[in-house]
Amino acid sequence: MLTLADNLRMGAFTVFRDVSLAGGARTLTSTFYVLPDAPRVARDDDGGPAFRFWWYRRALDPKAASPVRAGGLVVITVELAPSSDERAQLTHDLAAKFNFAESAINLLPLPFVSGTVELDFAAESGAVGGEFARQIAGNGPAKLAGGEQAAFAIDLTADGAALLADALDKKLDVLQVRYDLVYTYHLDGVRLHVWCDARKAQLAAQAQAGLGPIDVAALRSGLTASQLAGIDISSDTPVPPEQQTALTTLGQQLLDAALAQTVLTPDGKGARPYDQSIAGTLNHTFTSSFGATQHAVADALLPLGLDDATRGSRMVIVDLASEPQPIDVTIACPIDFTAGLIGAVHFFIAYDGTGPDGKPLHRADDFLFKVGTTRATFHSLASADSRSYRWHAEVFYRDGSTVTLPEVTTDERILVLALDGLGVLDVEAALGDVPLDGVSSVIVDLEYPPKQLTHQLFLDGAHAADSWQAVIGDAQQPGALRWRATFLTNDGRRVAGDWQPAASMRLTVDAPPGLISTANVQVIAAGDFQGVAQLLVELRAAAGADATELRFTQPGQAQTWAPRLAPGATLAYQSRTTVLGDDGISRAFDWTNQDSPLLVVSDLSRFSVQVIARLLDLGGAWSAAVVSFEHADPQANLDERDTVVLRDRAIDGRWSFHVGSAGQHKYRYQLTLVPKGGGERRVLPWQEAEDEVIVLRPPDG
Task: Tell me which DSSP letter residue 166 carries.
Answer: H
Tell whether the model's pLDDT for residue 222 goes beyond 60.
Answer: yes
Tell whether the model's pLDDT for residue 84 goes beyond 70.
Answer: yes
Quote the pLDDT of residue 257. 86
Quote the pLDDT of residue 361. 84
Where are the domain boundaries for CATH 2.60.40 in the chain? 324-422, 424-509, 521-601, 606-695
Quote the pLDDT of residue 380. 84
Quote the pLDDT of residue 324. 59
Q: Using CA atoms, how far apart are residues 325 and 218, in angstroms rounded to an integer?
A: 57
Place 67 in a pLDDT band, splitting at 50, 70 and 90. Answer: very low
- Kindly report the CATH class assigned to 521-601: mainly beta
Which range has highest mean pLDDT (135-139, 213-217, 318-322, 627-631)?
627-631
SS3 92: helix
Q: Using CA atoms, how far apart are residues 123 and 479, in angstroms rounded to an integer?
A: 41
SS3 243: helix
Tell whether the model's pLDDT for residue 667 goes beyond 60.
Answer: yes
Tens digit of each residue's pLDDT (9 = 90 or more) over 532-578: 899 999 999 888 888 999 999 988 888 888 787 665 677 889 999 99
- Kindly report the CATH class assigned to 606-695: mainly beta
What percent of the chain has a predicted confidence (pLDDT) above 90?
A: 24
Quote the pLDDT of residue 56. 79
Does the domain at 324-422 match CATH 2.40.50? Answer given as no
Contacts of 309 (CB under 8 A, 6+ apart): none
Place 518 in a pLDDT band, splitting at 50, 70 and 90. Answer: low
- Compute the average pLDDT of residues 463-490: 88
User: Given 3-state DSSP classes, what are the helix, strand and coil percentages for the chain, each rounded to the nearest 5?
Assistant: 15, 45, 40
Identify which has the larger pLDDT, 279 or 185.
185
Place 66 in a pLDDT band, splitting at 50, 70 and 90. Answer: very low
How many Å is the maximal CA-CA distance in the chain?
107
Place 519 in a pLDDT band, splitting at 50, 70 and 90. Answer: low
Q: Using CA atoms, how far apart are residues 187 and 4, in angstroms rounded to an integer?
A: 7
Q: Using CA atoms, how far apart are residues 382 and 392, in angstroms rounded to an integer?
A: 20
Tens digit of each residue's pLDDT (9 = 90 or more) over 346-367: 999 999 988 766 778 888 999 9
CA nearest neighbour of 691 among 615, 607, 571: 607
CA nearest neighbour of 198 among 576, 551, 596, 486: 596
* CATH level 2 (architecture), domain 424-509: Sandwich (2.60)
Quote the pLDDT of residue 588. 84
Tell whether the model's pLDDT for residue 265 goes beyond 80.
Answer: yes
Burial readout 289-301 (b: 16 or more C-beta within 10 A, e: otherwise): bbbbebebebebe
- Compute the average pLDDT of residues 616-626: 91
CA nearest neighbour of 429 among 512, 505, 481, 489: 505
- Compute the average pLDDT of residues 37-42: 88
Quote the pLDDT of residue 632. 92
Identify which has the larger pLDDT, 38 or 357.
38
Tell whether the model's pLDDT for residue 2 goes beyond 70.
Answer: yes
Tell whether the model's pLDDT for residue 611 goes beyond 80.
Answer: yes
- Compute the average pLDDT of residues 68-73: 71
Place 88 in a pLDDT band, splitting at 50, 70 and 90. Answer: very high
